[in-house]
Amino acid sequence: MIKQIVIAVIALVAVSCGNTPKEIALNSSNEEVQQGKKYQITKTDAQWKELLEPAAYNVLREAGTERPNTSPLNKQYAPGTLICGACFAPVYENENKFDSGTGWPSYDRAVEGQVERDVDYKLGYARTELKCNTCGSHLGHEFNDGPKKTTGKRHCINGVALDFVPKGEALPALRK
């Protein structure tokens, strides 16, 4: 059993190596500049550290990765919206969630215009990084092994980067 899991993990890593960089989606309402790109909401590192729990800060602002199978959002399939844990912008709808078996919440698409694609070379090869288009926070990565009946994409997202708002509840105002 363990040998099969190790083989599956190796195969998953090999598949992810084939991803190519995507163009960055720009938001026309951006007002401030952060690392060469305009974002509607920007803060200093000190301000983000005051607002975010350490695990959320590590993922959202330092592009860390939470351990697999640790997020309560893995099993959250109720109708609702997932918002950026840093700025509260809506980034995913739970209706687009699927069980990828990877240990991280996975979606086949984002809310239109709310997630940007960037290139991440942190592992020594190009991967498509997904960021909140409102504040630039790291959410996760995009892979080409999602459901073929929909988009074929898998947005592998860190649960600690998101907050869930059940359908029917008002979304919070953007964190300014």
What residues does each domain of the chain span? 2-166
Query: Model's pTM, two decimal places?
Result: 0.79
CATH topology of domain 2-166: 2.170.150
Contact criterion met (CB below 8 Å) for 135 and 42: yes
Q: Is 156 a catalytic residue?
A: yes
| pLDDT higher than threshold 70 for residue 28 | no
Beta sheet of 138-143, edge-to-edge order: 97-98, 106-107, 154-157, 138-143, 127-132, 115-120
The pLDDT of residue 70 is above 60:
yes
Per residue in 90-120, pLDDT (tens digit) is: 999 999 999 999 999 999 999 999 999 999 8
User: Using 50, 70 and 90 to split pLDDT, how confident is the model at 1?
Assistant: low
Residue 78 sits at φ, ψ, to 5 deg, of -65, 150
From 87, 132, 135, 156, active-site residue: 156
The answer to which of 5-19, 28-42, 158-172 has the lowest mean pLDDT is 5-19
Which tens digit of pLDDT belongs to each residue from 122-169? 889 899 999 999 999 999 999 999 999 999 999 999 999 999 999 999
